[in-house]
Amino acid sequence: MDTYINVKIYDVTLDEANNAFNEVDKIYKYYELMTNAYDENSEIYKINTSKDKKIKVSNDLLDILNMGNKWYDKSNGQFNINMGNVIKAWKKAREEGKLPKKLDYKISKLKIKDDYIINDNVNLDLGAIAKGYATEKVGDKLEELNISNYLVNAGGNVLLGRHPTKQNFTVGIEDPKKQGEIYNTVLGNNISVVTSGGYERFYELDGKKYHHIIDPKTKYPAENMLSCTVISKSSALADILSTTLFLLTPDEAIDLIEKIDDAEAILYVSKDKILRSSGFNKYEQK
Ligand code: AMP
Ligand code: MG
């Protein structure tokens, strides 16, 4: 998943730990092989290069795609898992240190019918969901193995079980303006904390920064805020939402998050403008 994944489990025997890590490894590898658009062996790669009119999709992938489409609708198309062409063009440009040459791709919603994709303008990229989705499955597996004290950090997608000794885990949220410094601290157990930001993966050209979260309207990096952190029991939801809110205007983002029961958010719009959803403060360190 193009990141380091750190998993800590507490209060287990060595055998239980080895078994648990083995299971965790299997889950991440399974979703990696399903969702990595750059791996020729992945299900998503096969879909993106398929010539079939109707493309059959595995049940587990279908669940992710349907979630993607649900948030496409809720964000008026700002969150779109079907803009792989544009995202690939920006990734290539970043690697070459240039601006993308071609961005005039047609962008549309993925068409799903039962358990098939209609092969019309299909180019999937699940970079905004896959880590959170897989991390949620990892949490479910640990709970199933009766491990309740754990912490998973999948490149900024944090999932907390219960802290082994203290009342809460403490998570620092990085200041998007000052690398390595934090601007806020949240406390909790059995929650996921996920941040999306333009400051984590970017490159600079002529003094301007270009990051990896792309506004489908302009096909350029979104510029509504500098970072967005979402807290939810569901790690998949937190991952989707952090990217989705980042793509909306601050007002739209707050409107959307207030409608969602199991999620809170803090938006770093600028140094002087930090917005919170109404329930965010219950997680904040006083
Ligand atoms: P995240 O780090 O979870 O916010 O996800 C960022 C990743 O989502 C990018 O690296 C792309 O793979 C993908 N992405 C970029 N723009 C969009 C978009 N408008 N809708 C959905 N996914 C996107
Ligand atoms: Mg995300």
3-state secondary structure the chain: CCCCEEEEECCCCHHHHHHHHHHHHHHHHHHHHHHCCCCCCCHHHHHHHCCCCEEECCHHHHHHHHHHHHHHHHCCCCCCCCCHHHHHHHHHHHHHCCCCCCCCCCCCCCCEECCEEECCCCCCCCCCCHHHHHHHHHHHHHHHCCCCCEEEEECCEEEECCCCCCCCEEEEEECCCCCCCEEEEEEECCEEEEEEECCCCEEEECCEEEECCEECCCCEECCCCCEEEEEECCHHHHHHHHHHHHHCCHHHHHHHHHCCCCCEEEEEEECCEEEECCCHHHCECC
Q: What is the pLDDT of residue 199?
A: 78
Ligand 1 atom index nearest CA of 127: 12
Residue nearest to atom 6 of ligand 1 (CA): 128
**Mean pLDDT, the chain cut into blocks of 10 residues (286 residues total):** 93 97 98 97 98 97 98 98 97 94 95 96 97 98 98 94 97 94 97 91 89 96 97 98 98 98 97 97 93
Give yes or no for a contact between 44 and 61, defined as CB atoms under 8 angstroms apart. Answer: yes
Cα gap 179→156, rounded to integer Å: 14
Pocket test for ligand 1, best of 64, 91, 214, 226 (most atoms within 8 A of CB): 214
Pocket of ligand 1, beta carbon within 6 A: 79-81, 87, 125, 127-128, 196, 212-214, 216, 239, 242-243, 247
Ligand that lies nearest to the alpha carbon of residue 230, given by its number in the listed order: 2
Q: What is the pLDDT of residue 90?
A: 96
Cα gap 171→191, rounded to integer Å: 11
- CA 272 / ligand 1 centre spacing (Å): 26
- CA 9 / ligand 2 centre spacing (Å): 24
Residues 146, 149, 152, CA angle at the centre, nearest 5°? 105
Ligand 1 atom index nearest CA of 197: 4
Cα gap 94→11, rounded to integer Å: 43
- CA 184 / ligand 1 centre spacing (Å): 24
